[in-house]
Amino acid sequence: MPAKHPNAEVFEHVYGCFTSGDMDRLAELIAPDVVWHVPGDNLISGTYTSRDGIFGCFNKIFELSGGSYQPQLLDVLADDNYTVALLHANARHGEKVLDQDYAFIMRIRDGQIAELQEAWTEGPAWNEFWS
């Protein structure tokens, strides 16, 4: 079995830090000038252009979901140019339930996420969940 690409390992560390709540270590894995695209027209959507900005989005996700947001990593595909993480999320927001697959398409530079585009399988349902 071939060794994992280093960029796949970077994302696995990102995922581990996010799910364990290790925000200090997570900050080290996200570039200070990150560009993070969250789709839709809702309470968390937008393009975040700093580490502080995306951490503000994370806080909003935790707040709106009452801490119920739970991503599950399914697979990571990586090469020198792109890293793609396939995930599934469950969460509650009021009476709304999120149960959906999604992908992160990333550029990783010097061991940090430099750019990330989120892609959700059911965009309208995703948008409604966070509205």
- Of the options 3.40.50.620, 3.30.365.10, 3.10.450.50, 3.10.129.10, the CATH number for the domain spanning 6-129: 3.10.450.50
pLDDT digits (tens, 9 = 90+) for 13-64: 999 999 999 999 999 999 999 999 999 999 999 999 999 999 999 999 999 9
> 128, 125, 106: which is closest to 13 by C-alpha?
106
Q: Specify the pLDDT at position 85.
A: 98
Q: What's the CA angle centered on 15, arms 50 and 30, to 5 degrees?
A: 20
Note the pLDDT tens digit of each residue in 76-113: 999 999 999 999 999 999 999 999 999 999 999 999 99
Mean pLDDT of 69-78: 97
Higher-confidence residue of 1 and 75: namely: 75
Question: How high is the pLDDT of residue 3?
Answer: 79
Integer Cα distance of 14 and 29 in angstroms: 6
Closest CA to 69 of 90, 95, 38, 52: 90
| Model confidence, pTM | 0.93
pLDDT at 71 over 80: yes
For 9-23, b/e burial (b = at least 16 CB within 10 A) is bbbebbbebbeeeee
Q: How confident is the model at residue 1 (pLDDT cuts 50, 70, 90)?
A: low
List of residues 6+ apart from 10 with CB closer than 8 A: 29, 83, 108, 111, 112, 113
